[in-house]
Amino acid sequence: MELKEIRLKIESVANIHKLTGALETLSALKMKKSQKIALESRPFAQRLGRLIRRVEPTLRDKVKLRKRKLRTALAVVIASDRGFCGSFNQNILKNAENEIKKLEKKSPVTVLPVGKKAIAFFKKRGREFKRSVVGVGDYGTLEELKPLADFIIKAYIASDYQRVYLMWTDFISTFRQKPKMMQLLPLEWKELKEFAHQAETDAESAETMIEPSAEMLVKEIIPQMVMYLIYQCVLESNASEHSARMTAMRNASDNARERVAELTLEYNKARQEQITKEVCEISSAKEVLG
């Protein structure tokens, strides 16, 4: 390899190192903030789970808790709008595809992708969908997710779908994230218990008196619960995404640094060989002239 070519490669890899280093720093900042938001929101999700557990015996005949004959299901798949996050999108989307295939053994499944990567993934596989969501943001807000929650609730009440599933990436730690699936509608304690990272207690299974009425709870509170569960899944997914991106950029930065060192060594060896060759040529010319 020529010296000029090696030098250009060194400059190119060094530029990549600068870029990945900057992305790593930015991702680390976003990771800390998204992790903080997701973890601080979990206790509220746990309280929601316990509340649903307490009112489930009273409300199990209501529309949002009542099981209906399954004709078609909706799968809401949460990925990201951007790449550079390692295997984050690949893991959740492949897992979602496998879960959807299992669900399709029981009934047709309509996909609702959240994130540009999810949209591109399912389009490539020929899956048609009437609705999709993009631009949720790095942290997600309840206001951004309200249209999605309203659509899901209305479609479920209208019996367009008899089951609604959420598929997202659960945040475990900075270096560990896990694709998961939960049945969102009809609401079930078993699903919520695992989602909220909590254990079941017998004291929470007693029938509860509801005031002013169960109908009011179903109309006003349950939709808020559904929206918050979607919100928490997005928070978990965002924390996982930023953690995966920070890790991926750190690995890329380390690899670029190592590659620069290897190329620099190769450059020095080539330069030494060139100098030796030039010295030999000068010595040979001197002997001829002498």
The model's pLDDT over 69-99, given as tens digits with 9 standing for 90+, comes to 889 999 999 999 998 898 999 999 999 999 9
**What does the pLDDT read at residue 192?**
66
Q: Which residue has the tokens 């309203």?
A: 150
Structural domains in the chain, CATH included, are: 40-246 (3.40.1380.10)
User: Which position has the higher pLDDT, 44 or 114?
Assistant: 114
**Residue given tokens 């999810």 in the structure block:** 118
Give the predicted TM-score (pTM) of the model.
0.83
pLDDT of residue 115: 93
Tell me what pLDDT residue 275 has: 82
53 or 265, which is more confident: 265
Query: For residue range 164-218, what is the model confidence (pLDDT) as tens digits?
Result: 999 999 999 999 999 999 998 887 767 666 665 554 544 455 556 666 666 676 6
Confidence bin at 139 (pLDDT 50/70/90): confident
**Residue 60 pLDDT:** 59
Name the average pLDDT for the chain: 84
Range among 38-52, 136-150, 194-208, 231-245 rated most confident: 231-245
Most confident of 60-64, 100-104, 124-128: 100-104
3-state per-residue secondary structure call for 77-127? EECCCCCCCCCHHHHHHHHHHHHHHHHCCCCCEEEEEECHHHHHHHHHCCC
